[in-house]
């Protein structure tokens, strides 16, 4: 058996796959419709939408197979994603890469395999639409065209899913995507009896950046903040833009003791980024957090509500202190001048 090589764009490929937020999600009809159709058209025993993760291949849709994943090291699809062309193995017993593969010698006793790479917009092949059968067979040119057409349908479904759960401006999860991932992470933490923490962020004086500097700079502020969130938090944490200038983070297995250091690092990264990019503003934020102890059953909505209330409480306190310390605190012009000075502090 020959294990599949690692693609030259492996880092980008894995980042792209994980950004889709599709791994370990329930079956979905748009994908199942394609695999059902392929099984009927080609008359094979098994059809899969296989996504190749770091150490496994996971099946978003499967017809004719009970397993939901296998090791990447023994996968046929790991070989198929090395090229953008369809990989056809007419008889696995006659192929030096696969003749002693456990998927060939044991169940499901693969003899025939055809895998069309699923290539997304950035050129990464994240998986395959593949046909599997226990009997050797060949494919003619029309069948190859048909398999590619069906794979294109899967790629379109992946693109639609990406657009539905990703914020177009910042590239992080949108509200729907954040809730999907955070709900899944919360359920896992509750099952494992682990702590969780949530944070709700709101950018300070964001409207003033838009009004005085224009929406391009406002967009830059949102992108800077999103980028710094990703740099600050762990890969396993869930980050999302849930409103215009509102962001959330879900931290599984973390309590309030780690949050001060995280927020200090976030503030430092924001300051450094604004300076390095030559921004005519500082990105500042208000944040509220809430942590749930092990064994405490709650919902994501309740956690976010608690953190949101704390965030707005701190935001109001900060505004009150700013007004009290400003000259002519009761004057609207003085307050506006003070805010403008803060915006142009770099």
Q: Which range, of 148-157, 306-315, 329-338, averages the lowest pLDDT?
A: 329-338
pLDDT of residue 196 exceeding 50, the answer is: yes
Domains in the chain: ranges and CATH: 10-165 (3.30.450.40), 175-343 (3.30.70.270)
Q: Which long-range contacts (CB under 8 A, 24 or more apart) does 8-16 make?
A: 9/123, 9/124, 12/122, 12/124, 13/81, 13/124, 13/125, 13/126, 14/53, 14/54, 16/120, 16/122, 16/124, 16/126
Distance from the Cα of residue 16 to its chain's centroid: 8
Top pLDDT among 188 and 338 is at 188
pLDDT at position 138, please?
96
pLDDT tier, 235 (very low <50, low <70, confident <90, very high otherwise): confident
- Cα(303)–Cα(298) distance, integer angstroms: 7
pLDDT of residue 331 exceeding 80, the answer is: no
pLDDT of residue 341 exceeding 50, the answer is: no
- Cα(341)–Cα(322) distance, integer angstroms: 12
Residue 339's φ and ψ, nearest 5 degrees, are -65, -40
Query: Mean pLDDT across the chain, nearest whole number?
Result: 88
Tokens 């025939």 correspond to 112
Burial pattern 285-311, b for ≥16 Cβ within 10 A else e, equals: bbbbbbbbeeeeeeebeebbebbbebb
Residue 96 is classified by DSSP as T
pLDDT at position 316, please?
78
pLDDT of residue 343 exceeding 70, the answer is: no
pLDDT of residue 112 exceeding 50, the answer is: yes
Reduced to 3 states (helix: H, G, I; strand: E, B; else coil), residue 262 is helix
The partner residues of 286 in beta bridges, in order of sequence, read: 202
| pLDDT per position as a tens digit, 49-58 | 999 999 999 9
**How many CB atoms neighbour CB 35 within 10 A?**
25
């Amino acid at each position: 058996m020959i294990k599949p090589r690692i693609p030259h764009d492996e880092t980008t490929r894995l980042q792209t796959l994980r950004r889709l937020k599709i791994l370990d999600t329930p079956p979905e009809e748009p994908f199942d419709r394609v695999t059902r159709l392929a099984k009927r058209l080609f008359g094979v025993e098994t059809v899969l939408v296989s996504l190749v993760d770091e150490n496994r291949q996971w099946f978003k849709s499967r017809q004719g197979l009970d397993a939901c994943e296998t090791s990447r090291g023994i996968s046929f699809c790991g070989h198929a994603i090395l090229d953008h062309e369809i990989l056809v193995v007419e008889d696995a017993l006659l192929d030096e890469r696969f003749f002693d593969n456990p998927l060939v010698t044991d169940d499901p006793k693969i003899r025939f395999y055809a895998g069309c790479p699923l290539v997304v917009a950035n050129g990464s092949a994240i998986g395959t639409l593949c046909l599997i059968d226990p009997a050797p067979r060949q494919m003619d040119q029309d069948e190859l065209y048909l398999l590619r057409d069906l794979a294109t349908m899967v790629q379109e479904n992946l693109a639609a899913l990406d657009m539905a759960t990703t914020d177009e401006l910042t590239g992080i999860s949108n509200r729907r995507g954040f809730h999907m991932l955070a709900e899944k992470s919360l359920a896992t933490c509750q099952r494992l009896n682990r702590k969780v923490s949530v944070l709700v962020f709101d950018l300070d004086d964001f409207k003033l950046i838009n009004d005085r500097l224009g929406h391009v700079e406002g967009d830059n502020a949102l992108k800077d903040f999103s980028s710094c969130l990703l740099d600050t938090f762990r890969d396993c944490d869930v980050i999302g833009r849930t409103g215009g200038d509102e962001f959330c983070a879900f931290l599984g297995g973390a309590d309030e003791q780690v949050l001060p250091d995280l927020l200090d690092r976030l503030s430092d990264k924001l300051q450094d980024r604004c300076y390095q990019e030559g921004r005519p503003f500082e990105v500042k934020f208000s944040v509220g957090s809430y942590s749930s102890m092990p064994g405490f059953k709650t919902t994501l909505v309740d956690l976010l509500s608690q953190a949101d209330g704390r965030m707005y409480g701190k935001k109001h306190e900060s505004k009150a202190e700013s007004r009290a310390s400003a000259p002519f605190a009761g004057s609207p012009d003085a307050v506006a001048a003070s805010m403008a000075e803060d915006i142009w502090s770099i």
